[in-house]
């Protein structure tokens, strides 16, 4: 005699982390809305500056433009804003998987983009005479295509494995959907998901970080043995890159630790705030660091701002005359 136990099919997930927001929801709404506006404005401004100015049509700035586009792509703020004000914190299964796809591809593209940028700086500082022949337009196009295409392909496989799982629950204790949280809800065998998850993390996090560490070891070697001018050039171009890398790595590491290990001793609100760090800090941090530290972008942004102020003053004077 065979006894078949069939679990009801899960059609939606409940995001339980929103239940602790309580009376602070309007405050959180204002904070997240303000961050969202700042992220959109700063990243769009720098994308426009790079695209419009022909002097910035160089590999380094093209990779930067790709980075800013990714910072716009990975945003879940409209969803977060709706969930904060809503009394029902549920999300359909297809939309939950769409969230996971966007978030995970955003993180993977960010790491790969930073790795490509470190390789570009390595060529510019360590092999300046070969830079123009090795970093051609075709090479730039291929690197950007790989940076965006590989994470998308890898996430399709991961979500296919997760979608085939039989689930025994539908409560996710986070403010957004997470693939590992869904895997933990499964009644069926998850060994394939765990193995592929580790393999995917190795390819999208460990490999880019190893490449970045290797290139910067080579850059530091050249800096210590080179002239003062070489050291100044390296510091001015590499400091923003390293700062953004450390900022993003810290946020992602905490997110991985929070998903994989028991964090019940940490206050829930603190976990929510820290889990939102990698969604908010990096897209705000990138424009500030690159906009202020890279002299070309800084000068062009300053001139555009001055032109805008002069235009506003002249238009107000003409209105007064009329």
pLDDT at 18: 80
Q: What is the C-alpha separation between 239 and 223, in angstroms, rounded?
A: 13
Cα(196)–Cα(183) distance, rounded to whole angstroms? Answer: 12
pTM summary value: 0.84
pLDDT in tens, the chain (322 residues): 334 444 457 788 988 878 777 677 888 888 888 988 988 988 888 888 888 888 888 898 899 999 999 988 877 778 888 888 888 888 888 899 998 998 889 989 999 999 999 899 888 888 888 888 999 999 999 999 999 998 999 899 999 999 888 888 888 888 888 888 888 888 888 888 889 988 888 888 889 988 988 888 888 787 777 677 767 766 776 777 788 888 888 888 877 777 777 666 767 777 777 777 778 888 888 888 877 666 677 777 777 777 767 776 666 666 565 5
Residue ranges of domains in the chain, CATH in brackets: 12-17+24-294 (1.20.1070.10)
């Amino acid at each position: 005699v065979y006894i078949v136990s069939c679990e009801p099919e899960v059609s939606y997930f409940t995001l339980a982390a929103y239940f602790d927001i309580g009376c602070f929801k309007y405050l959180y709404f204002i904070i997240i809305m303000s961050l969202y506006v700042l992220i959109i404005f700063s990243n769009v401004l720098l994308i426009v500056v790079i695209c419009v100015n022909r002097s910035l049509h160089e590999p380094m700035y093209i990779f930067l433009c790709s980075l800013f586009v990714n910072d716009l792509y990975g945003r879940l703020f409209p969803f977060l804003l709706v969930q904060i004000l809503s009394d029902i914190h549920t999300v359909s299964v297809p939309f939950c998987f769409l969230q996971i796809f966007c978030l995970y591809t955003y993180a993977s593209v960010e790491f790969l983009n930073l790795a490509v940028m470190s390789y570009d700086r390595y060529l510019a500082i360590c092999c300046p005479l070969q830079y123009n022949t090795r970093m051609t337009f075709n090479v730039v196009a291929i690197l950007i295509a790989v940076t965006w295409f590989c994470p998308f392909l890898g996430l399709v496989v991961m979500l296919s494995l997760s979608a085939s799982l039989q689930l025994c629950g539908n409560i996710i204790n986070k403010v957004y959907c997470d693939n590992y949280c869904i895997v933990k809800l499964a009644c069926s065998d998850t060994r394939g998901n765990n193995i592929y998850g580790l393999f995917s993390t190795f390819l999208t996090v460990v490999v880019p970080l190893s490449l970045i560490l290797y290139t910067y070891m080579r850059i530091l070697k050249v800096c210590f043995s080179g002239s003062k001018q070489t050291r100044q050039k390296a510091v001015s171009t590499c400091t923003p890159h390293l700062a953004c890398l450390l900022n993003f790595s810290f946020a992602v590491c905490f997110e991985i630790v929070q998903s994989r290990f028991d964090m019940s001793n940490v206050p829930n609100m603190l976990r929510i705030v820290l889990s939102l760090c990698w969604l908010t800090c990096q897209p705000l941090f990138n424009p500030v660091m690159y906009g202020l530290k890279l002299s070309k972008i800084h000068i062009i942004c300053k001139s555009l701002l001055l032109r805008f102020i002069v235009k506003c003053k002249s238009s107000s004077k003409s209105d007064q005359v009329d």
